[in-house]
């Protein structure tokens, strides 16, 4: 993946958490950027990012960070993308590429679009990768390896700019797909937003019962519940913004989910074992397809250390 | 964990899949049994179990396998426990301990209880451990290490027998809890049965849409969906039987889940960001507690290999 010469002379990363940090690490690994300028709201985060070394310079404002940058990547929660774009609007270099890493795309085009100056190539993006961690220490160079990154350029976008951004993401290890923003939002409503919503919800339900205590739920979590807690530990601000900005698609998929759940509830109530068995057989095959597509590990239990103990040796 | 002398001279394991196999492996690791006799319905499974080596003798019938056994462990789906107990009823040795590994306990007492002869100690059990794999190659000695095993003895059960079975499970690496069967069924309805039901349901919904194709769902599964597919890949027969045999508790928990989900749906529809943010902050803390309790790994992404590729090198 090493390039003989950087794809971009100067890259600005706005937002220095899991995604911004991983982009910095991955760009450095492959030599994709001559210089990486960084900005985060918190001075502590900026200092830490410099120390970890995934940016070359830290700036006191987003506007200062994007000056002279050939590629500007906004890695802030979806709700902050409009305001941040307004802040940097007058500092963007002519000919620069402006992109983001937000999990919804139609609302992002609505919010960022009006602030993009003529001569700047705005190409919304969404890398399909992450962990439940956040902050400047959460990122790592391999996060995007063999994962997908989706670009949703608006009609009329410069082809060469899209190709250049594609090469950058490929240099970060990702495979790039181009998609219409509305279709993107529908696809990710079901593969990402609804799963997170369900996870947040069940963790909420389980820890708010009278007949079963929270300590019982925690103690016996290995029986299934713990699988949901990873998604439910994701960044609260990021996810609030996702749901507020992909409302229609999420509500549509939630409607389908609830409809199917009601029918499953009915099958349990009436003891329809065949219906349950048929569904469970079908869903088992799907995991096999995901593993075959290289989108999950084939090691049982996600490869969790089977003997994992409490961090401090507690039981 | 090695014992100077076996806890049981002869142990019979009926059902040689993930759980039966892991019990065999764990008992051999710690020298808990003088001899392990095994039975499975399929001759192929019996032969494989002998070959893998987690049983010492394979038998053509369950009745033959349990002859002279001091401990009999039924590791078959919950729906098969009653019929299997009827089959072995007249072959059980006086003074033997009879237990099971089923995920529900009240229905198991209802189904097995009437077939337990006088002088046999019936102590229902539930080891809280598993993976999404099944069959005679799925088991391993470490499966129960640092996990819980719950016993639900009925009133009047011989104390010494419960203690002896406790020592056996501890020898297999587990921590043992004793609980009332009704409470067990309520706790596991929320920490295990409902999570599996939700996982089966969302995988079903996601792969049955018109506007998003199944191949898109598989391709982009790393964005959240894949976490649910592990539970949804669990054994269909086992899980059909769990839902049919813990109906009331599952329906009660499902009712709570749906109620909470409706309120979340409302918050999204009306743009109540504070409600979303508060819930997401609360759920994030729960994962921390589970990791602190030693019930999940603290490595991001469950410790999945971040660079995992398709098994055959396909993308």
Interface test with B, best of A146, A170, A195 (most B CBs within 10 A): A195
Residue A160 has pLDDT above 90, yes or no: yes
Closest residue on chain B to A201 (Cα): B261
Contact B225, A195 (CB under 8 A): yes
A233 to B283: CB separation less than 8 angstroms, yes or no: yes
Would you say the C-alpha torsion A176, A179, A184, A186 has a positive or negative sign? negative
Tell me the CA distances in angstroms from B46 to B28, B64, B104, one per residue in order.
Answer: 17, 14, 26
E-state strands within chain A: 8-14, 33-39, 57-58, 71-74, 97-100, 121-122, 125-127, 148-151, 175-178
- B152: CATH: 3.40.50.720
* pLDDT at residue B50 is higher than 60: yes
Report yes or no on B23 lying in a domain. yes
Distance CA B110, CA B87 (A): 16
Minimal Cβ distance to A146: which of B271, B303, B315: B315
Nearest to A280 by CA among A292, A272, A270, A291: A272
Residue found by looking up tokens 């240099």 in the block = A171
For residues B241 and B77, the answer to whether their CB atoms sit within 8 Å is yes
Q: Are residues A95 and A194 in the same domain?
A: no
In a domain, B215, yes or no: yes
Closest CA to B302 of A219, A301, A96, A90: A301
In a domain? residue B305:
no
Integer Cα distance of A195 and A178 in angstroms: 23
Question: Do B138 and B156 lie in a common domain?
Answer: yes
β-strand pairing of B148-151 with B175-178: parallel
Can you give the residue range of the structural domain that contains A26? 8-179
At residue A303, the pLDDT reads: 81
- The model's confidence at residue A152, banded by pLDDT at 50, 70 and 90, is very high
Determine the pLDDT at residue A314: 35
Q: Give B-chain residues touching A260 at CB under 8 angstroms.
A: 201, 204-205, 208
Q: What band does A4 get if pLDDT is binned at 50, 70 and 90?
A: low
Distance CA B100, CA B112 (A): 10
Provide the pLDDT for residue B5.
86
| Angle CA B189–B191–B192, to nearest 5 | 70
Mutate to test the interface with B, among A150, A222, A273 (most CBs of B within 10 A): A222
Nearest Cα residue to B304 out of A224, A22, A194, A227: A227
Cα separations in angstroms, B250 against A74, A82, B78, B255, B280 = 44, 44, 15, 8, 24
Interface contacts A/B by beta carbons within 8 Å: 397
Q: Which of A233, A256, A271 is the last residue of a domain?
A: A271
Check CB contact under 8 Å for A314 and B294.
yes
Whether residue A53 is found in the same domain as residue A149: yes
Each residue's pLDDT tens digit, A65-107: 999 999 999 999 999 999 999 999 999 999 999 999 999 999 9
Mean pLDDT score of chain B: 93
Closest CA relative to residue B257, chosen from B202, B312, B178: B202
| Chain B residues in contact with A104 (beta carbon < 8 A) | none
In the beta sheet, which residues pair with residue B74? B14, B100
Whether B314 maps to a domain, the answer reads no
Q: Do B187 and A300 touch (CB under 8 A)?
A: no
Q: Do the Cβ atoms of A218 and B295 come within 8 Å?
A: yes
Cβ-nearest to A297 among B199, B304, B314:
B304
Per-residue pLDDT at B315 exceeds 80: no
CB within 8 Å of chain A, chain B residues 93-132:
103, 128-132
| One domain for residues A55 and A142 | yes
Q: How many residues does chain B have?
A: 315
Residue A126 has phi, psi (to 5 degrees) of: -150, 100
Q: Which of A286, A288, A301 sits opposite B131 (nearest CB)?
A: A301
**Cβ-defined contact of B244 to A273 (cutoff 8 Å):** yes
Contacts of B309 (CB under 8 A, 6+ apart): A146, A294, B315
pLDDT at B314 exceeding the cut of 50? no
B129 and B28, same structural domain? yes
At B13, phi and psi to the nearest 5?
A: -110, 120
How many CB atoms are closer than 10 A to CB A304? Answer: 19
Residue of A nearest to B234 (CA): A284
User: Between chains, do B227 and A195 touch, taking CB under 8 Å as contact?
Assistant: yes
Q: Do B212 and B66 reside in the same domain of the chain?
A: no
Mean pLDDT of chain A: 93
pLDDT at B69 (0 to 100) = 98
Q: Are B125 and B78 members of one domain? A: yes
Cβ of A229 and B287 within 8 Å?
yes
B251 in a structural domain: yes
Residues 226-265 (A) with a CB less than 8 A from some CB of B: 226-234, 236-237, 239-241, 243-244, 247, 250-251, 253-254, 256-258, 260-261, 264-265
In this complex, which of A244, A292, A299 lies closest to B310 when CB atoms are compared?
Answer: A292
What ipTM goes with this model?
A: 0.90
B-proximal residues of A, 1-40, CB under 8 Å: none
Clarify whether residues B57 and B163 are in a common domain.
Answer: yes
d(CA A90, CA B126): 65
Tell me whether residue B187 is in a domain. Answer: yes
What's the burial of B7, exposed, middle or buried (CB within 10 Å: 0-12/13-18/19+)?
buried
CATH of the domain at B233: 1.10.3660.10
As given in the structure block, the two tokens for residue A214 are 């929270």
Nearest residue to B73 (alpha-carbon basis) of B117, B17, B30: B17
pLDDT of residue A216: 95
> CA angle, corner A132, sides to B227 and A45, nearest 5?
165
Query: Which of the listed residues A136, A157, A179 is the one where a domain comes to its end?
Result: A179
Count Cβ atoms below 10 Å from residue B108 Cβ, excluding itself. 27
Task: Tell whether B155 and B236 lie within a shared domain.
Answer: no
Residue A313 in this model has a pLDDT that exceeds 90:
no
Share of chain B above pLDDT 70, in %: 95
pLDDT of residue B305: 67
User: Residue A209: inside a domain, yes or no?
Assistant: yes
Last residue of a domain, one of B179, B213, B245: B179
In chain A, how many domains are there?
A: 2
Residues A157 and A104 occupy one common structural domain: yes
- Please indicate, yes or no, whether residues A35 and A150 belong to a single structural domain of this protein: yes
Check whether residue A55 and residue A80 sit in a common domain: yes
Q: Where are the strands (E) in chain B, listed by range?
A: 8-14, 33-39, 57-58, 71-74, 97-100, 121-122, 125-127, 148-151, 175-178
Confirm whether B117 is domain-assigned: yes
């Amino acid at each position: 993946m090493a390039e003989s010469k950087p794809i971009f002379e100067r890259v600005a990363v706005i937002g220095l958490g899991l995604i911004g940090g991983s982009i910095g690490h991955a760009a450095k690994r492959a030599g994709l950027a001559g210089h990486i300028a960084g900005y985060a709201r918190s001075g502590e985060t900026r200092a830490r990012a410099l120390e970890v070394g995934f940016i070359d310079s830290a700036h006191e404002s987003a506007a200062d960070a994007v000056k002279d940058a050939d590629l500007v990547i906004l890695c802030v929660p979806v709700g902050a993308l409009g305001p941040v774009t307004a802040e940097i609007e007058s500092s963007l270099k002519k000919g620069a590429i402006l992109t983001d890493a937000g999990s919804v795309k139609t609302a992002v085009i609505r919010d960022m679009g009006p602030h993009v100056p003529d001569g700047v190539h705005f190409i919304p993006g969404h890398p399909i990768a992450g962990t439940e961690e956040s902050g400047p220490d959460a990122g790592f160079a391999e996060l995007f390896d063999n994962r997908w990154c989706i670009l949703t350029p608006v009609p009329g976008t410069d082809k060469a700019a899209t190709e250049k951004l594609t090469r950058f993401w490929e240099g970060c290890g990702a495979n790039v797909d181009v998609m219409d923003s509305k279709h993107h939002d529908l696809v990710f409503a079901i593969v990402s937003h609804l799963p997170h919503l369900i996870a947040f919800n069940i963790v909420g339900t389980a820890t708010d019962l009278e007949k079963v205590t929270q300590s019982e739920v925690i103690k016996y979590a290995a029986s299934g519940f713990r699988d949901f807690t990873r998604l439910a530990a994701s960044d609260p601000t990021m996810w609030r913004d996702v749901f507020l900005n992909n409302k229609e698609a999420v509500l549509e998929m939630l409607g389908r989910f609830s409809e199917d759940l009601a029918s499953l509830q009915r099958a349990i109530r009436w003891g329809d074992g065949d219906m349950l068995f048929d569904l469970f057989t079908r869903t088992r095959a799907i995991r096999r397809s995901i593993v075959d597509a290289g989108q999950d590990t084939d090691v049982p239990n996600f490869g969790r250390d089977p003997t994992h103990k409490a961090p401090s040796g507690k039981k």
